Amino acid sequence: MTVAASRRRRGRTAAVPYAFLTPAIVLFVVFCIVPIGYSVYMSLRKAQVKGLGLRPGDRTEVFAGTRNYANALKDPELIHSVLRVLGYGLIVVPMMLGLALLFALLLDGTRARLVRSARIAIFLPYAIPTVIASLMWGFLYLPSVSPIVDLLGGADLFAPSTVLYSIANVAVWGGTGFNMMVIYTSLRAIPSDLYEAARIDGASELRIAFRIKIPLIVPSLVMTAVFAIISTLQVVSEPMALKPLSNSIISTWSPLMKVYTDAFERGDLYSAAATSVLLAVATLVLSFGFLRLVGDRAFASEGGS
């Protein structure tokens, strides 16, 4: 009897955390699991038209199996957009994180009075909405309205060969500040006695940066890299905003633009759903792959600090 009572009591206590979790679980299910499930469901369907398709009821929805996935995987436009975005990522991620790290180290190492205003100046572009930033850069790239194109010797910044860099530039300009802030914050968290010890041992500032600072902030470098990789794969605002200005940016420039075009320009929600599921899986694989790759080192230094 006592056993039963205590079990009952334990049961009641065990339920309490779930009661507290309920709102979060409900929101997660309603706004995350259900839409994902619906996308997966949509990706397995297709439209079926009979006759000329001009009478009500001529168009029905039928089960398509994995046909949408097969079509997406062999769609040259999707493959091109993925390759394009990989090239874009190879420019953006190292460039943005490199600059962010450089600025963070400089700000951390300098005792000048300009630190605060420099920090804000570098961070400010992040506060500007991507679409506005893209339009602003778009105006700077367009020869007849741009103040800078003439300075660059009339270079065509929207040519097929340069447009990738032009778009990457917008992303680097906008993203460096945020990443610098993350890295800078973790630099400030390093106990200063480590530096004192290093200086007593005769280490130069450069050596301190490479031997102490960078190894200690590896976890935040890893985190910023993962975020940068994810946002690279999902790039859409910059090319979308610049697209009307140039013949060199097509509507399937990035994979997400392809999803948008399929869903809302071509009216094929089913293919778009299949492509976005594929894209989500690819993002997961890449992010976790990167985490695994650098995981040991990141966690080792975390343990060390």
Partner 1 sequence: MRVKFAVAGVLALSLLATACGSSGDDESPETTPKAQGKVELSFWSWAPNIEKIVAKWNASHPDVHVTFSQQANGDDLATKILTASKAGNAPDVFQAEYQVLPTYISNNAVADIAKEAGDLKSRFADGVWSQVTLGGDAVYAIPQDSGPMMYYYRADLFEKYGLKVPTTWDEFAQQAEILHKKDPKKYLTNFSAADAGWFTGLAQQAGASWWSPSGDTWKVAVNDEATRKVAGFWSGLVQKDLIDKQPSYTPKWNKALADGTLLSWPSAVWGPGVLAANAPKTAGKWKIAPLPQWAAGENKTGSWGGSATAVSAGSKNKAAAAAFAAWLNTDSEATTDLVKESAVYPAATSAQTGPALQSAPEFFSNQPDFYTVAGQIAGTAQGFTFGPNVNVTYSAYKDAFAKAIASGGAFDGALDQMQTSTVDDMKKNGFKVS
Per CB under 8 A, contacts with partner 1 among 57-96 are 57-59, 71
Bridge partner residues of 92 (DSSP)? none
- CA Rg, the chain, in Å? 26
The piece of 1-9, 56-64, 191-199, 272-280 that touches partner 1 (CB under 8 A) is 56-64
C-alpha to C-alpha distance for 65 and 131, rounded to whole angstroms = 38
Verify binding: residue 28, partner 1, rule CB under 8 A: no
Contact with partner 1 (CB under 8 A) among 268, 272, 274, 279:
268
Nearer to partner 1, 164 or 180 (CB): 164
Whether 107 contacts 160, CB under 8 Å: no
The DSSP line for 160-212 is TTTHHHHHHHHHHHHHHHHHHHHHHHHHHTS-HHHHHHHHHTT--HHHHIIII
Verify binding: residue 20, partner 1, rule CB under 8 A: no
Contact with partner 1 (CB under 8 A) among 248, 254, 275, 276:
248
Verify binding: residue 143, partner 1, rule CB under 8 A: yes
Verify binding: residue 144, partner 1, rule CB under 8 A: yes
Shortest CB 267 distance to partner 1, Å: 5
C-alpha to C-alpha distance for 177 and 122, rounded to whole angstroms = 5
Look at the alpha carbons of 33, 36, 40, 42 in this order and tell me if their dihedral is positive or negative. Answer: positive
Shortest CB 96 distance to partner 1, Å: 27
Q: Where are the beta strands (DSSP E) in 59-193?
A: 59-63
Nearer to partner 1, 55 or 111 (CB): 55
Verify binding: residue 50, partner 1, rule CB under 8 A: yes
Which positions lie near partner 1, rule CB under 8 A? 15, 18-19, 22-23, 25-26, 29-30, 46-59, 71, 139, 142-145, 159-160, 244-252, 261, 264-269
